[in-house]
Structure 1
Amino acid sequence: MAVASTNKVLPTGRVDTKTTYNILFILSICHLLNDTLQSVVPAMFPIFAKSMGLTFTQLGLIAFSMNIVSSVMQPAVGWYTDKRPIPFALPIGLTFSMIGILGLALAPSFEMILMCTIIIGLGSAIFHPEGSRVTHMAAGNRRGLAQSIYQVGGNSGQALAPIITALILVPLGQFGAIWFTLVAASAVILLLYIAKWYSQNLRVQSTFKKVITVPQTEKHSISKAIKLALLILILIVFARSWYGSAISNFYTFYTMESYGVTIAQSQIYIFVFLLFGAAGTFFGGPLADRFGRRKMIFLSLVGVAPLAIILPFVGPTLAFIVLGIIGFILLSSFSVTVVYAQELLPGKIGTMSGLIVGLAFGMGAIGSVALGVLIDAIGLTTTMVAVSFLPLLGLLTLLLPTDQQLKEWSQE
């Protein structure tokens, strides 16, 4: 099937790219399927803990092995494809994830689980930077909305983790993960279509390269300001990722210990957090387009801080409500931080996407290990109380350049 390009050259010599919603929605579905595969790994934590007797530290290492590979590789993949785009990297990445999931379903040991999660992490590292580049290509003038459509698919896939645990992995056990090879195969088929559209648009961009390329002027003072802004952005992603890791990976154990619920019942709490987080991701982009990216980043952390602090002390029913609100507010800045970073360095779309999204995975990976060790050392409740103060680091957002400053830098 032929895939039509939406790029048109105007009489002024400027390339007009309208928002290509069909590509964005298909890509969002693929992002959902990709991150569903990733979500199988933490979803299996209670299964591994019960069947193999793994410690919290070992569970943290499993998450670390997948996320750190994705974290390290994503900026590298983004940097390389900024220079040499690879349209078919998208289906190739999902193929790696499919192989990893198949191995995970059959893995007989802790070491084999680590190897399979590394393969899944590699597939994710290949998929995400190129997915973000296609999103930018299809966005037109609606960058915040486009990035939200793309990212909400991923966060929705992550939200499926507790449902996967309750409905599939609890009754079927580890081998139940083999059914997700069908999910991966479906994503590969859809991504072949996306790759064709991507390839055709790259040819259009190559034809009109002199028209659409924006020359970047290097200025020493601006370079220093950009480095400082990136450092602050990294600290913000650190706070969001570590807190999100604490909830996604270990809050299920907290509910079982504090509220006396079963594994299946505990997954509902995580589902509420991730489901409302996916909704927050979707609405965060359009709100940032209207009210400003820095404002959304600030509110997503500082606004959630009071609720995060009281969460360990509320009852089992109120916890659902608090978790839902926390998830919505906290993840409303997920897509916004990606767009903000891309606007810091407009000519490095893949690199910035790989850095910020990869950093989120990496920080989550380090957080999984550190939190697992901390829980083993000082206890689950004490750890959950301690991490509740992380969102206060959102105050650092006040040191970021304003949206207007970013526009002025890009015009110099």
Structure 2
Amino acid sequence: AVFVAVFLVGVGSSTLHPEASRITSLAGRGRRGFAQSVFQVGGNFGTSIGPLLVALVVAPRDRTWIVCFVVVALLAFRAMRPICRWYADYLVRRRDTREGGAEPAPARPLPLRKTVWAIVLLMVLIFSKYIYMACLSNYFTFYLIERFGVTIRASQLFLFVFLFATAVGTLVGGPVGDRWGRKPVIWISILGTAPFSLAMPHCGLALTAVAAFCAGFMLSSAFPAILLYSQELLPSKLGLVSGLFFGLTFGVAGIASAVLGDFADAYGIEAVYRACAYTPLLGLVAWFLPNLGPNRSDAAVRG
């Protein structure tokens, strides 16, 4: 039953994100980075308060109290209904406009070969980001319990600190990309995680919490920039690009969780953290991303 429930959650989430990202682009106009950050920070903030609610509501009682959180899902479903109606009408108008030839599809900023190369580099960056994110999100509590002997409740509070940092980083990364460009944000955020990830296995409990916060903040600020950069590469394929990168992130995180769990069983949790600490260094490949010039927000929105 748990596997079925998790499967259905995954299907729903993967169906929502690509189209929701397109709607975000329509809403953002010239501030697409900010709009994308606001969209994603909702999910990240919800993820961050999950462990906190588990520590405060579920842990002192029993797991049946998890059913209380279904109310939040029902409220979200109700809130999405008018958005879905508006979006359906928008798609009809867009189709009629395209069929009438009133508006051509926006062109790619780069030749096909360079576009494919850039997409491959972005996939490598996603891989480096979500391998480390999976390490922290899924095994941080076990790491704290094993190394520092903290309680389950305390470990959930430390996990909240890390996940809250990812929400803050997501909110910051998009607007900074609007102002300074996507590539600098990608470069700084992913590679800037490395000092904290490399230091974390050697820190005490307090400094581990600080390093986890900094690593979460730096790493999460990259995804809005990566997604928008990829949308600007293929401005007429926003849904395709969004689906590719959201699907890739979810898939990489899921596979990484399984692989890291097997690695932890064989070599221990600390070995996992020492090995994964080097994955942010893959951010060096951001150096090879082509420059797109000024943010192509209007072209991407028209797509």
Normalised to the residue count of structure 1, the TM-score between the two structures is 0.69
In the alignment, residue 388 of structure 1 is paired with which amino acid? A
Mapped partners of 2:167, 2:292: distance in 1: 24
Runs of at least 5 residues in structure 1 that lack an aligned partner in the other structure: 1-111
After superposition, residues 10-409 of structure 1 pair within 5 angstroms as 112-209=1-98, 210-216=101-107, 222-404=111-293
Secondary structure at the aligned position of 2:111 is classed as helix
Mapped partners of 1:184, 1:292: distance in 2: 35
> Displacement, 1:406?
8.4
Mapped partners of 2:208, 2:219: distance in 1: 16
Query: Percent same amino acid among aligned pairs?
Result: 36
Mapped partners of 1:232, 1:357: distance in 2: 16
> Displacement, 1:178?
1.1
What is the aligned-residue RMSD (CA, Å)? 1.9
> Displacement, 1:369?
0.2
> Displacement, 1:164?
2.4
> Displacement, 1:276?
1.4
Secondary structure at the aligned position of 1:402 is classed as coil
CA contact (8 A) 1:294 1:397 kept: yes
For these two proteins, the number of residue pairs brought into alignment is 296
Mapped partners of 2:227, 2:48: distance in 1: 20
Deviations 1:313-362 (A, max 9, x none): 11111122211111111101111111111111111111111111111111
Mapped partners of 1:169, 1:137: distance in 2: 39
In the alignment, residue 158 of structure 1 is paired with which amino acid? T
CA contact (8 A) 2:125 2:283 kept: yes
The higher relative CO (CA closer than 8 Å, separation ≥ 6) is in: 2
> Displacement, 1:154?
1.2
Deviations 1:219-254 (A, max 9, x none): 9x8211111111111111011001001001001101
> Displacement, 1:215?
4.7
CA contact (8 A) 1:301 1:330 kept: yes
Mapped partners of 1:360, 1:164: distance in 2: 25
Mapped partners of 1:240, 1:320: distance in 2: 19
CA contact (8 A) 1:344 1:406 kept: no
In the alignment, residue 208 of structure 2 is paired with which amino acid? A
Which stretch has the larger CA shift, 363-372 or 162-171? 162-171
> Displacement, 1:403?
2.5
Mapped partners of 2:106, 2:86: distance in 1: 26
> Displacement, 1:213?
3.6
